[in-house]
Amino acid sequence: MRRLLLLSFTALGTTAAIAQTNPGTPPINQPSAAVAETVVTATRVPTPIERVPGGVTVIDRQTIEERGYQTLAEALVSVPGLSLIQSGGIGQPASAFIRGTASRHALVLLDGVPINDASEPNGAFNFGNDLLGLDVERIEVLRGPASSLYGSGAIGGVVNIVTRRAPKDKAIEAFGEIAGGSNRTLRAGGGVAGTVGQFDYLLSLRSLSTRGTDATPSRFTSDTRERDGFRSVGATARLGWTPSDRFRLEGLANWRENHGGLDNVPFDDPNYSFEDRRYTGQIRAEGKPFEVWTTGFRIAQTVDRRRYTNLADSLSAATTNDLFRGQRTVFDWGNQIRTPDYGILDQGQLSFGITHEREAVDQGSGSAFFRTTTNASALSTAGHAGYQIRLFQRLDLSAGFRQDSAEDYGTHSTYRLGAVLAVPEISARIRGAYGTAFKAPSLYQRFGVITGFFQGNPDLRPELSEGWEAGIEFDIPLAAQRDFATVGATYFENRIRDLINFNAAFTTLENVERARIKGGEFTATLRPFRWLNVSAAYTVTDARDVATGERLARRPEQQLALNAAFRPLDNVTIAPEAVFYGRSLEGAFASYRDDGTSYTVARDNKVGTIFNLTASWQVMEPITLFVEGRNLMDSKFEPANGFVIAGRTVLAGTRFRF
């Protein structure tokens, strides 16, 4: 691995950095047209893309549609530094490993509000459950320690899902799509939005149903070819009031409900199913008491309810009736102050605020003899502050600090420092950042109970990390075209301690493990012609347990994503995508032979390649026809041992906006 890292940086190090756009959530009264020019997620204040020091990526609405992404999991596979491991096809559980950190170290936001399920035993987010309906404007991914911005859980990074906003120049705009194809799949969605005087509104509905595919590999002798169907419905509503350019009040509500089948490796299980509901709402007010000061207050709540059921059948007499209820309530006060320019200093921004949060869990799972229960709640309060400034109109400096105080795991402080140096003489940007982060023990880890077998540990400490990154990005001109190519590379390291795992007797949990992670992200975007855009993202990751030196499970050592947008005609776009996964380690007793028996030592998962292709034809200004092909080479790749990806599928449909 060390040799591979060295060879990779030798090949690309002279033209290094991140060739990705940066994420953000705009201020509540910022026009949507300005979203692509500034970002907020990476710094909490509107910041020009080129001034953000960390690794960041934006997947905007145009990219989602051109590449045919219909789920959050599909969209994230091309993000450098992020490995998306899904246990089967659409709707099946999916985990994201950002820069080699654990899946519970990825914090997910919806319009800036955390939505990780409080009832999930480890606090991880299931990326396989969310559709990218027409209400999703873009997805923003911030890589690296980010607890100084968002608190617990942001060790690997942050994924922010940003919803659509109403047009400011129309009283009513209607939009929608309908598509159907393989596996009896039907996808539909639509809505209306507009601005009438001081009020704006948006209402959007979405749905998808499919009989699905078989997640059990055909190599297993126990495979019955039973399909895991999936149905999802959801809605988003937003209402805003802007009586003046100094004040805005808005409310947002989001609901989604999923039903589907699951497999129980290494055997098919036709009666194993789930239902998953999530309700998220927030009310936010923002004002400008003075021209240089913006202040806002938000109240938000997320409620998750998951149930897993399994009836006795000819394959198994076991039954399951598991229920998970989680609730998260957030009160947040945030401020932005623009500081005056002075001499060599300009573009100064100060941000500060207070966040109060309550988590609650009511959970029961397992058999009557071996049943796990958690019934607990916890409060935490945090203060945060950040500052960024530009020197000599080319050196951007940023710093952030946050202190979280919880009623049960004490007080914890995190910080982040960053710098971006513009070198226009060679069309380069040099970036660097260093930060700390933490993940609080979940309520299950602290208070979960299996009577007579297991007791959570209320004295657990947070998992702690410190990490840094350094990179460089070049714009390469050619033939009078300034942006003919953008190439870059970033090196990152992260050390995590006090990782939580079971004690030797499996009777409780302890802070017993440490991890060391290093790697590189290499990107290139070529724009040789007006009608052709090609991008590549290559990631090398070395994630290991410090004590044993063993590789961490399910982190591919290498991953390469290739994308292109080919426009043979002005109104036609053809977008191929290829994703290559290198080998990854699977845990002992989670690696399976063809007969379904497990290995007693960890084994490597085989490499895999997925090829997708989407074609779009804008028939007229408001109407587009499209065809989406997924896994067209019909790969049998198993990202997680014992779970095969969906086979070849094709969907065709139309999208409109009036």
pLDDT digits (tens, 9 = 90+) for 295-324: 999 999 999 999 999 887 777 777 889 999
pLDDT digits (tens, 9 = 90+) for 388-397: 999 999 999 9
User: What is residue 37's predicted lDDT score, i.e. its pLDDT?
Assistant: 43
pLDDT digits (tens, 9 = 90+) for 455-498: 999 999 999 999 999 999 999 998 778 889 999 999 999 999 99
pLDDT digits (tens, 9 = 90+) for 512-560: 999 999 999 999 999 999 999 999 999 999 999 999 999 999 999 999 9
- The contacts of residue 107 (CB under 8 Å, 6+ apart) are 114, 116, 125, 146, 150, 152, 153, 154, 157, 158, 159
Question: d(Cα 481, Cα 591) in Å, to the nearest integer?
Answer: 51
Indicate the pLDDT class of residue 1, thresholds 50, 70 and 90.
very low
pLDDT digits (tens, 9 = 90+) for 617-635: 999 989 999 999 999 999 9
User: What is residue 43's predicted lDDT score, i.e. its pLDDT?
Assistant: 65
Q: Report the run of H or E that residue 7 belongs to, with start and end.
A: helix 2-12
Tokens of 45: 């204040």
- Concatenating the DSSP letter of every residue in 63-127 gives HHHHHT--BHHHHHTTSTTEEEEESSSTTS-EEEEETT--GGGEEEEETTEE---TTSTT----T
Tokens of 439: 């993940």
User: What is residue 27's predicted lDDT score, i.e. its pLDDT?
Assistant: 43
Lowest mean pLDDT among 67-71, 99-103, 420-424, 588-592: 588-592
Mean pLDDT of 46-55: 78
- Concatenating the DSSP letter of every residue in 223-239 gives -----EEEEEEEEEEEE
User: What is residue 318's predicted lDDT score, i.e. its pLDDT?
Assistant: 74
More confident residue, 307 or 21: 307
Mean pLDDT of 406-416: 91
Asked whether the beta carbons of 91 and 128 are under 8 A apart, the reply is yes
Predicted TM-score of the model (pTM) = 0.92
Q: Report the run of H or E that residue 331 belongs to, with start and end.
A: strand 320-339
pLDDT digits (tens, 9 = 90+) for 267-299: 777 888 999 999 999 999 999 999 999 999 999
- The conformational region for residue 75 under phi > 0 = left, psi -120 to 50 = alpha, else beta, is alpha
Mean pLDDT of 126-146: 94
- Concatenating the DSSP letter of every residue in 445-493 gives HHH-EETTTEE--TTPPPEEEEEEEEEEEEEEEETTEEEEEEEEEEEEE
Does residue 158 carry a pLDDT above 70?
Answer: yes
Tokens of 553: 């499970």
Question: Strand, helix or coil at 427?
Answer: coil
User: What is residue 269's predicted lDDT score, i.e. its pLDDT?
Assistant: 77
Most confident range (mean pLDDT) of 41-50, 427-436, 592-601 is: 427-436
Question: d(Cα 271, Cα 278) in Å, to the nearest integer?
Answer: 23
Mean pLDDT of 558-587: 97
User: What is residue 481's predicted lDDT score, i.e. its pLDDT?
Assistant: 82
- All structural domains of the chain, each given as residue ranges with its CATH number in brackets, are 2-657 (2.40.170.20)
